């Protein structure tokens, strides 16, 4: 991940409403949540929520798919992982005892090996 993308992702999350939405979607998992339901759960106006979802989507932190009249949003786990990895990159210059738990997230995708970690 490059600096501008990281800043965009962090800026997207640096907002109470958007952070709440993102965490809701992280908890929701792969099925996702409809925009209207997010609005109800967070108590935000539809237009404001739509703007914020657009910002999250532009940063790659959420993805949208249409289902009938609803638009379902899901968390972008891959982008999230990239962001966390970017934040702790080259941590501690060779002193893993400080940030091993941070670096763990920087490792490759969620495969069977990682699951036992």
Partner DNA sequence: TCTATATTTCGAGAAACATAGAATCGTCAA
Partner DNA sequence: TTGACGATTCTATGTTTCTCGAAATATAGA
Which stretches of the chain bind a copy of itself, using CB under 8 A? 3-4, 6-7, 10-11, 13-16, 19-20, 22-23, 26-30, 77, 80-81, 84, 86-93, 95-102, 104-105, 107-110, 114-115, 117
| Cβ-based nearer residue to a copy of itself, 29 or 36 | 29
Binding DNA (rule: CB under 7 A), the pick from 29, 48, 65, 114 is 48
The residue from 23, 29, 41, 46 that contacts DNA (CB under 7 A) is 46
Q: Which is nearer to DNA, 27 or 115 (CB)?
A: 27
- What's the per-residue H, E or C state across the chain? CCHHHHHHHHHHHCCHHHHHHHHHHHHHCCCCEEHHHHHHHHCCCHHHHHHHHHHHHHCCCEEEEEECCEEEEEECHHHHHHHHHHHCCCHHHCCHHHHHHHHHCCCCCCCHHHHCC
CB under 5 to 8 A by kind: which of a copy of itself, DNA, none does 62 bind?
A: none
Which spans of this chain sit near DNA (rule: CB under 7 A)? 11, 14-17, 34-37, 39, 44-55, 64, 66, 68-71
């Amino acid at each position: 991940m490059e600096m501008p993308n990281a800043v965009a992702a962090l800026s997207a999350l640096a907002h109470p409403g958007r952070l709440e939405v993102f965490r809701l979607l992280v908890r929701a998992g792969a099925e996702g949540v409809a925009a209207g339901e997010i609005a109800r759960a967070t108590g935000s106006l539809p237009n404001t929520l739509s703007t914020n979802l657009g910002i999250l989507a532009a940063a790659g932190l959420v993805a949208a798919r249409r289902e009938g009249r609803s638009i379902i949003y899901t968390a972008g786990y891959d982008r999230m992982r990239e962001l966390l990895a970017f934040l702790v990159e080259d941590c501690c210059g060779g002193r893993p005892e400080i940030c091993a738990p941070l670096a763990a997230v920087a490792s490759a995708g969620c495969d069977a090996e990682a699951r036992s970690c």
